[in-house]
Amino acid sequence: MNDSNPLTDIPRVDLATLPTPLMPAERLSETVGAEIWIKRDDLTGLAMGGNKVRKLEFLLGDAKSQGCDVVITFGALQSNHARQTAAACAALGLECHLILTRSVPRNDSLYTSNGNFLLDELFGAEIHVCGNDDAAIADAINTVERMVAGNGRSARWIPPGGSEPIGALGYVAAGLELAAQAAQLEINVSEVFHASATGGTQSGLVLGLHLAGSPASVRGVAVYQSASDTRSAVSLLMSECVDLLGVKSPPESTIDVIDGHMGEGYGIPTDAMRNALSVFATTEGIALDPVYSGKAAGALLAAAEAGELDESTPTVFLHTGGNPGLFAYGRDILI
């Protein structure tokens, strides 16, 4: 293993356009009264970009190294992870199966046929839509297992969001990348805000910044489950990444998850999210998504309004992508 980069010997495929820009948001900063920079992981390139491409570089690198020719993963009907997995499999010549659940209470035609779902079809994935209960998911899994076994194929199963230790390595790499960019730009980042769901992004980012010797704290905004459950998921994944890489673990206290911004539930719009979409769009010309980055940006704006941001050092907002989801929600994203 290379001492300077613990990821050097891990199987990986090139899918993303890296490094993604770290850019000052001058008009947004003026609006909120604090120095904000944006890490543009919405610009990772593949399939309209997003954070999951970083994880898929390692997950599909692992699949290829094992000789797998089929990839199976899970997500909600408008899953960004599913869309990027479908595109990555198309680029690598792998068969892709998506098990998509009706986990968001929306049944309009925009939501059920547009946005990420439309792109899943475009990229040629085999789509299996099911209910959100355990029995329906189990039935879908059994169906896919029979299909794959009947064809004599070798499958790599990937959990929702790509949130397993190998997937989280994508954000270990991102943490190293962010620290290097900050050093090159000669800025001392105080903290990083981002949407936190199944834990892979936050666990990797915390570990990557720690390995880079960065003092920046990471504030994950719970958008999928409670803050306590999110924190547990992040803690477990980070521990498994540490074991996988054989490195020293950051203190448990570095796991910071913010509650109170999910609203009525996962994928359900909030007024704070709508306001954040408007603020980012009208100050920086940047579109956020309604499920993840929009709610995380709402938390960032609330922290700024409460005077909780360090005004003497930059705060980074990690834009995790998800913009195709805008077209599944239509005018419901507007104030």
Calculate the alpha carbon distances from 61 to 15, 27, 69, 152 in Å: 10, 40, 12, 21
Task: Let me know if residue 230 belongs to a domain.
Answer: yes
Tell me the catalytic residues: 79
Is residue 33 domain-shared with residue 77, that is, in the same domain?
Answer: no
- Check residue 2 and give its pLDDT: 39
Are 187 and 296 part of one and the same domain?
yes
280 and 152 within one domain: no
For residues 77 and 133, membership in a common domain is answered with yes
Could you tell me if residue 316 is inside a domain? yes
Examine residue 198 and state whether it is found in any structural domain, yes or no: yes
Helices (H) and strands (E) in the chain, counts: 12, 10
SS3 state of residue 15: coil
Is 298 found in the same domain as 223?
yes
Q: Does residue 94 sit in the same domain as residue 178?
A: no
Tell me: do 307 and 324 sit in the same domain.
yes
Characterise 188 by phi-psi region: left (phi > 0), alpha (psi -120 to 50), beta (else).
Answer: beta
Residue 60: inside a domain? no
DSSP string, 271-334: HHHHHHHHHHHHHH-----TTTHHHHHHHHHHHHHTT-S-TTS-EEEEE---GGGHHHHGGGG-
Give the per-residue pLDDT at 207: 98
- Residue 77: which domain range? 65-161
Domain match, 173 and 153 both: no
Q: 184 with 312, same domain?
A: yes
Domain endpoint, select from 102, 128, 161? 161
Task: Mark whether 297 and 155 lie in a shared domain.
Answer: no
Q: Is 235 left (phi over 0), alpha (psi -120 to 50) or beta?
A: alpha
Same domain, 237 and 120: no
Written as tens digits, the pLDDT of the chain (335 aa) is: 335 789 999 999 999 999 999 999 999 999 999 999 999 999 999 999 999 999 999 999 999 999 999 999 999 999 999 999 999 999 999 999 999 999 999 999 999 999 999 999 999 999 999 999 999 999 999 999 999 988 888 999 999 999 999 999 999 999 999 999 999 999 999 999 999 999 999 999 999 999 999 999 999 999 999 999 999 999 999 999 999 999 999 999 999 999 999 999 999 999 999 999 999 999 999 999 999 999 999 999 999 999 999 988 999 999 999 999 999 999 999 99
Q: Does 16 fall in a domain?
A: no
Residues 209, 175 share a domain: yes
Question: Among 136, 161, 186, which residue terminates a domain?
Answer: 161
Number of domains within the chain: 2
Cα separation, 322 vs 221, in Å, equals 16
Whether a cis peptide bond, with omega within 30° of 0, leads into 21 is: no
| CA 305 – CA 118 distance, rounded (Å) | 38
- Asked, for residue 144, whether it belongs to a domain, the answer is yes
And the tokens for 190? 């105080």
Q: What is the CATH number of the domain that holds 133?
A: 3.40.50.1100
pLDDT of residue 151: 80
Final residue of a structural domain among 96, 129, 161:
161
pTM of the model: 0.96
Query: Is residue 200 in some structural domain?
Result: yes
CA dist 315 and 293 (Å) reads 15
